[in-house]
């Protein structure tokens, strides 16, 4: 079997050294990788390194080995092109179709999925010019991974770091596994909530639940790999931010509601995988609640939290927005699920049975996805990634046409 052909484009940023690790992962997992750096990338990592690690000659120019027409052949023959790091300049060139070196020529001739992993200073990333270029590339079907937040080149920190090479590799692996030229969620914005809310009683105590957030993260990662712009509203999971995903960290149900509704304003789909507390303490004690001398215990009065899923479903931010809920049930799983689907008014409801050893914190899940049109899709026991893919497979035909 021939190895999948990957072009690793490297543009001129300090994060170029991290692309060596991405290259190593790609070659070690059986990919034939051709590295195409830009001239400025070679200021950071030399051609000898790329050549030795990839086992292929490396050039930046279209004028070398002209008889082999590499400026056309490399792109045409690729199964995937990944540009890591992608500088602001590289995104601009790609968005405008410039072709002044081997990498930009390769991008124009490639007909396979293209992934950009941008890395730059926060101001450059946030500049409207860069944001418009990113939007253009995404509209055309490219996967542009959201940069990570953290320490940048100097003492400054912010959004703009190249995501961990392992995460970029994971995005590439998933895209290659799907084998489609254009990722099927390209150009879409999806919102996923994950984790469990915590409702504070006092500065040291809260009411919480046992949701690990793993299913929500699996959904967010799967959507990013399928080309969507993803906003993940995360509550108390402690899981590292995944590559390619915009993460909003929240604590309580009220904060989660606010973040989800804000992100949902321009979303094509919203998936509520978070376990949102139905109740919160009526009063937050600003000081730690103390034991009383009489041996008694305090009574905690609870009030209802807003039902985010029901609100999203009843009051869609956009016509045709797809809303997906989750239902964790302990008894009469399917009957309760059907009733919940009707009550909440969502399009799809992923129903799973929970118990002591089921679902919470585990890597596996088993579910039935109920649809408002009556369809039922059983998902056999398996990794949460598989359930995530099934959810997006079911969301896809329900999305409004056009973007």
Residues annotated catalytic, as ranges? 209
In the bound state with ligand CTP, the residue whose beta carbon lies nearer, of 22 and 253, is: 253
Backbone angles phi, psi at 275, to 5 degrees: -90, 105
Tokens of 319: 């016509």
Least separation in angstroms between CB 305 and ligand CTP? 5
CB 336, CB 358: distance < 8 Å: no
Least separation in angstroms between CB 268 and ligand CTP? 18
Q: Where do we find the tokens 């890395």?
A: 119
Task: Say how far apart CA 105 and CA 118 lie, in whole Å.
Answer: 19
Q: Where do we find the tokens 């409801």?
A: 349
Site residues for ligand CTP per CB under 6 A: 253, 272, 274, 276, 278, 305, 307-309, 325-328
CB 144, CB 136: distance < 8 Å: no
CB 16, CB 41: distance < 8 Å: yes
Can you list the positions of beta strands (E) in 274-356?
279-281, 302-304, 322-329, 348-353
In the bound state with ligand CTP, the residue whose beta carbon lies nearer, of 169 and 326, is: 326
Least separation in angstroms between CB 233 and ligand CTP? 10
In the bound state with ligand CTP, the residue whose beta carbon lies nearer, of 8 and 260, is: 260
Helix pair 47-54, 16-28: axis angle to 10 deg: 10
CB 340, CB 327: distance < 8 Å: yes
In the bound state with ligand CTP, the residue whose beta carbon lies nearer, of 110 and 273, is: 273
Computed on alpha carbons and rounded to an integer, the radius of gyration of the chain in Å comes to 24
Least separation in angstroms between CB 13 and ligand CTP? 39
Least separation in angstroms between CB 136 and ligand CTP? 34
- Strand (E) or helix (H) holding 333: helix 333-344
In the bound state with ligand CTP, the residue whose beta carbon lies nearer, of 71 and 257, is: 257
């Amino acid at each position: 079997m021939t190895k999948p052909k990957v072009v690793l484009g490297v543009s001129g940023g300090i994060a170029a050294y991290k692309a060596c690790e991405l290259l190593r992962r790609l070659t070690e997992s059986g990919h034939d990788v051709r590295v195409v750096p830009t001239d400025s990338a070679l200021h950071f990592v030399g051609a000898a390194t790329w050549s030795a690690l990839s086992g292929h000659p490396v050039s930046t120019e279209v004028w070398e080995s002209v008889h082999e027409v590499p400026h056309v052949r490399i792109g045409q023959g690729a199964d995937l092109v990944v540009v890591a790091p992608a500088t602001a300049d590289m995104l601009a060139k790609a968005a405008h179709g410039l072709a002044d070196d081997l990498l930009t020529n390769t991008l124009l001739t490639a007909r396979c999925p293209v992934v950009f992993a941008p890395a730059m200073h926060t101001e450059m990333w946030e500049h409207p010019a860069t944001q418009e270029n990113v939007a253009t590339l995404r509209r055309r079907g490219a996967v542009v991974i959201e940069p990570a937040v953290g320490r940048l080149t100097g003492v400054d920190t912010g959004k703009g770091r190249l995501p961990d090479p392992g995460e970029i590799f994971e995005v590439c692996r998933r895209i290659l596994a799907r084998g489609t030229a254009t990722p099927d969620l390209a150009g879409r914005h999806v919102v996923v909530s994950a984790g469990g809310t915590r409702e504070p009683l006092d500065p040291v105590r809260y009411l919480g639940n046992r949701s690990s957030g793993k299913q929500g993260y699996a959904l967010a990662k799967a959507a990013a790999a399928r080309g969507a712009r993803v906003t993940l509203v995360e509550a108390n999971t402690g899981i590292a931010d995944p590559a390619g995903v915009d993460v909003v960290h929240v604590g309580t149900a009220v904060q989660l509601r606010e973040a989800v509704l804000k992100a949902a304003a321009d979303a094509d789909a919203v998936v509520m995988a978070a376990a949102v507390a139905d109740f919160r303490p009526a009063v937050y004690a600003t000081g730690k609640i103390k034991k009383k001398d009489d041996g008694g215990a305090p009574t905690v009065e609870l009030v209802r939290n807003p039902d985010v899923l029901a609100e999203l479903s009843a009051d869609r931010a956009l016509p045709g927005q797809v809303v997906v809920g989750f239902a964790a049930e302990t008894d009469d799983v399917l009957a309760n699920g059907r009733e919940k689907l009707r009550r909440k008014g969502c399009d799809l409801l992923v129903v799973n049975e929970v118990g002591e050893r089921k679902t919470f914190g585990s890597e596996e899940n088993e579910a039935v996805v109920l649809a408002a049109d009556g369809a039922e899709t059983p998902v056999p026991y398996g990794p949460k990634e598989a359930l995530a893919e099934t959810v997006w497979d079911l969301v896809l035909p329900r999305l409004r046409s056009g973007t």
